[in-house]
Amino acid sequence: VTMMMMDLPALLDREPPVILPMLVGETSQQVVFVQVNPGETFAIRTQDGSLQCIQGPAEVPMMSVNGSVPPIYVPPGYISQVWGGGVLYFIWSASKQYMNLLFFAVVLLYSTALRDTVCVCVCVCVCVSYRINALCGNVRGSSSEPVVFTTLASSPECPLPPRLSHRTKSSLTLQWKVRSRIDNGSKVTHYLLEWDEGKTSSVFKECYFGAQRHCKLTHLSSAMGYKFRLAARNDIGTSGFSPEMVFFTSGPLPPLPKMPRLVQAGTAWVSLEWSRPKGYRPEEVLTYTLEAREENKVRDVRHTTQVMLVSLMPLYIMPYRERRSGPSSTLVCTTTLDIPGVPTKPCLKGEVLPHSFCVTWDPPQDDGGTEVMTYLLEISEGNYEGSPWEVTYCGTASEHTCDGLKPDMVYRLRLCSISTGGRSQFTECLLVRTLGMAPGPCTPPRILGKVKQKEVHLLWGQYLSPVIATSPLHCHVTSCGWHGGTVSNVAVSSCLGGAAECEVDPHSLWSPESSDVSVSEYHLEWSRNDDPLQLVYSGTDTQREICDLTPGTRYRCRVQAVSEMGVSPFSELASCCTPAASPDVVPNLTTLEQDPAGSPSFSPSTCLALKWEEPCANGAPIMSYTVALGDQLINVGCITGHVIEGLQPNYEYSVRVQAVNEFGAGLFCVPLHVRTRPLPPSPPLLECAAVGPQSLRLKWSPTARETAYVLQMEDQKRQRFVTMYRGPSHTYKVQRLMEWSSYAFRIQAVSSAGEGPFSDTYTFNTAKSLPPALKAPRVTQLNGSTCRITWDGIPPMRGDPISFILQVLVGRESEYKQVFKGEETAFLMEGLVRNAEHRFRVAACRRCSDTDQELCGPFSPPCLFSAPLLNPTADALLRGKGDQSYSGICTDEQFAALIVVVLTAISIVTAFVLHFLVME
């Protein structure tokens, strides 16, 4: 320790980087706690010389070994303040180089002799307030009252150098930015900008002093460089100057440069150089733009006339002094060929076979500049490093088939690419194992022995044994001998009658050719006739019994051996034929509702229509069918349906059917119990209940319960009957008919017993139509007691003339009186009753020319008319009008409206009179 606490004021004259505090008095080990406030950093130097920083808030315990404390880092240059008679010291930095460093350190020193605690505080922030808490004693106690103090302000820091915002041939515009916390507690008031006036000397003169952050200098020389530096000033003092910056005014357009020269070319680079244009001073800075046209890359090369490029492209150079010149001539240079890259690792293509496989690969990403690439493929047998490599392919193709290989063998393959530039490295090895050898093809089996009608027994295996199977001759094995695993001296006899011997080939039995191959299982495929073969057995057994066969049917089979190395080819097809037999049971015996032949004499009450499907013939064609109706047997020939007639209505029968071929009759099918229907009901009596001009209402008497009826009408144009109604009702109204026309009908009764016969044809006629109702007549008053009544006419109906009847009801009479009948549509009525209501109505009558019958239609709505007598003057006015037409009021509403109009007119006239009298 080189410093005591009493020497702290002397530190103003020097800037030690480290404070070495110590414990005064005892030299035994002590513990010192350092409290770090929030937002501050505590730094100590460890024994290995490195600095350790601790962020606040924190408490750092420090061990005092032999009366010493680890050194604490303090920035150089600080001032001190003593407070309280040497008990507490505050130290903060005043150095400009550490203005922005937030650093705080507290050291607690414990002295057993003086029992004093000394706290040293170091703060390097200017014009900032701090609160400092002190702790004393080995035992941590409560904090003391905080003391607040503020650091002093200082001169501003050095500003950023100015930058060029705009230039011309005779002016420069500069501007500068201000960094944060540059004022050091006192606001910057002015900026000082100095320059060398373009004399390239170290003497600077003031060119601007003010508060603005930009400056424009004019009347300058073109193509001239000027040096500038900047300083900031506040109320405390002036900062240092910023780094010097050189800016040039604009000059003339540079001349066209010469074409660059190729110095050296490599596999992936070229070295170029070019000459500096003449007419420029050495101190003038020229910038060159080197452009590559293919990849559109541009590089700026400053203060040099040589550039190294890693590409192949034509280039040109363009020097400029803030103004670009035209491009130089194009230089075309070529890089040298390089070793090609490594191609992709070979991969398998397709299946791996026992003696060959195919591999493929992709070319390398880097071809080294060559267009033609040759590939070298090497192969090695075995999966160990010592196996030799052999070239299996050398060419330009990207795939190769390696053949002539050994089965179940591991091979390694590697690949490289070769070009004019050299040979690439080999790829990673590809391991491929060829497939093992499968068993050889099995010999085709020649089936021997007797075949049952629905089953056959096959036997096979590597070790030959007797095989019971079929032969087209239906032979039965009687004896056989074995010599060294081979069948010989096989004697057979025919099973169809008569002894015979068959020649049997001893090599025709079923066994795989490769006896040295271990067979793991066998696959037996079987099919009927020419159907596709299907797998019927797969396993290790050497025999199989195939059941559920069809008699008289040809079957085919083949076998295949399977081992761990693969499967053998299928053997040749072997065929056999099962013996024929009687037909199978007749399936799907059902009854039909109608005779398929459409016989009109068929009745479900006395007939049964049977239908069945053809069974399996079992190798021989079916000749006939036998139908058993109870104990009665009926031979129906080779058909699949039959109609049994002459049965009793509503009676239950049991029906069975069997098929017959040359080998006999098959079994009867399951009995079908069926009941004939009861006799259908007879048709009812059809009557016409009501006749209309466009409709006929028909009715009939009910016959029985739960009976429906079918009513049909004859279509005269198509000469057939059309169903008009079907249901349980006893009446039906046929509409949309023509008047005075004849229609033919017939009816049928339908019940659960079936449909009964149709009745005889009934003919009914429609009536003639009445004339339609007319609209209310129109009344026109001619004079006081005469009026004219008119109405709409209608044309003749089917040639029959139309006449009209006009009736009137006067006053309170109860009956209308006829006043006119004729074919006219107007009538002049005289002798009207004054102040009485007259109601007129009209009806049309049709006079039938064929029957002299008159048919009158309904009367029209009445038309109300009254001829009131107002006064003699009004009557004279009506008389004076002569023959002028006057429309009388025909309804009560019109009469009421007239009264309202008259009263309104009287009121208006009275009002005018009273107004005139009052005004007078």
Q: Which of 769, 375, 409, 785 is nearest to 565 (CA)?
A: 409
What CATH number has the domain spanning 590-675?
2.60.40.10
Architecture of domain 347-433: Sandwich (2.60)
* Pairing, β 18-19 against β 72-73: antiparallel
Residue, of 85 and 516, whose pLDDT is higher: 516
CA distance 595 to 540: 59
Residues 546-574: b if buried by 16+ CB within 10 A, e if exposed: beebbbbbbbbbbbbbbbebbebebbeeb
Q: Which of 133-147, 234-248, 481-495 has the lowest mean pLDDT?
A: 481-495
CA distance 424 to 43: 58
Q: Dump pLDDT digits (tens) for 12-27.
A: 333 333 333 333 334 3
The answer to whether 693 touches 740, Cβ cutoff 8 Å, is yes
Which two three-digit tokens encode residue 645?
């007639």
Specify which of 130-144, 277-291, 372-386 reaches the highest per-range mean pLDDT.
372-386
Q: What is the pLDDT of residue 905?
A: 92
Place of tokens 């005469």: 786
Share above pLDDT 70 across residues of the chain, in percent, rounded to a whole number: 70
Which two three-digit tokens encode residue 515?
């006896």
* Pairing, β 475-483 against β 486-494: antiparallel
pLDDT at 920 over 70: no
Residue, of 703 and 405, whose pLDDT is higher: 405
Q: Which residues contact 737 (CB under 8 A, 6 or more apart)?
A: 694, 695, 696, 743, 766
Average pLDDT over residues 419-423: 85
Place of tokens 């002016």: 171
| pTM beyond cutoff 0.75 | no
- DSSP for 476-541 reads EEEEEEEETTEEEEEEEEETTSS-------GGGS--BS-TTS---EEEEEEEETTSPPEEEEEES-
Q: Dump pLDDT digits (tens) for 768-779.
A: 888 999 999 999
Q: Which of 471, 467, 476 is nearest to 497 (CA)?
A: 476
Cβ count within 10 A of residue 767: 15
What CATH number has the domain spanning 456-577?
2.60.40.10
Which residues in 696-785 belong to E strands, given as ranges?
696-700, 708-715, 720-727, 731-734, 742-751, 754-758, 762-765, 778-781
- DSSP for 100-155 reads T---EEEEEEE-TTT--EEEEEEE--TT-EEEE----SSS-------EEEEPPP-P
Q: What is the pLDDT of residue 377?
A: 94
Architecture of domain 686-765: Sandwich (2.60)
Q: Residue 407, CB half-sphere, CA atoms under 13 Å: how many?
A: 10
The answer to whether 150 touches 129, Cβ cutoff 8 Å, is yes
Reported CATH class of domain 261-320: mainly beta
Label residue 447 by pLDDT band (50, 70, 90).
low
The answer to whether 586 touches 613, Cβ cutoff 8 Å, is yes
Which two three-digit tokens encode residue 86?
């040497």
Label residue 257 by pLDDT band (50, 70, 90).
confident
Q: What is the pLDDT of residue 841?
A: 95
pLDDT at 162 over 70: yes
Which two three-digit tokens encode residue 420?
């004019």
Domain boundaries, the chain: 5-150, 163-248, 261-320, 347-433, 456-577, 590-675, 686-765, 778-888
Q: What is the pLDDT of residue 283?
A: 62
Reported CATH class of domain 778-888: mainly beta
- Mean pLDDT score of the chain: 75
Q: Residue 515, CB half-sphere, CA atoms under 13 Å: how many?
A: 6
CA distance 820 to 826: 10
DSSP state of 797: B
CA distance 869 to 130: 126
Q: Dump pLDDT digits (tens) for 651-689.
A: 999 999 999 999 899 999 999 999 988 888 889 999 999
The answer to whether 349 touches 359, Cβ cutoff 8 Å, is yes
pLDDT at 745 over 60: yes
Q: What is the pLDDT of residue 877?
A: 40
Label residue 49 by pLDDT band (50, 70, 90).
low
pLDDT at 256 over 50: yes
Average pLDDT over residues 628-642: 92
Q: Residue 331, CB half-sphere, CA atoms under 13 Å: how many?
A: 23
Domains 163-248 and 590-675 share a fold: yes
DSSP state of 45: E
Q: In what order do the strands lie in the sheet with 261-265?
A: 261-265, 270-273, 306-309
Average pLDDT over residues 25-39: 59
The answer to whether 692 touches 658, Cβ cutoff 8 Å, is no
CATH level 3 topology of 163-248: Immunoglobulin-like (2.60.40)
Average pLDDT over residues 590-619: 88
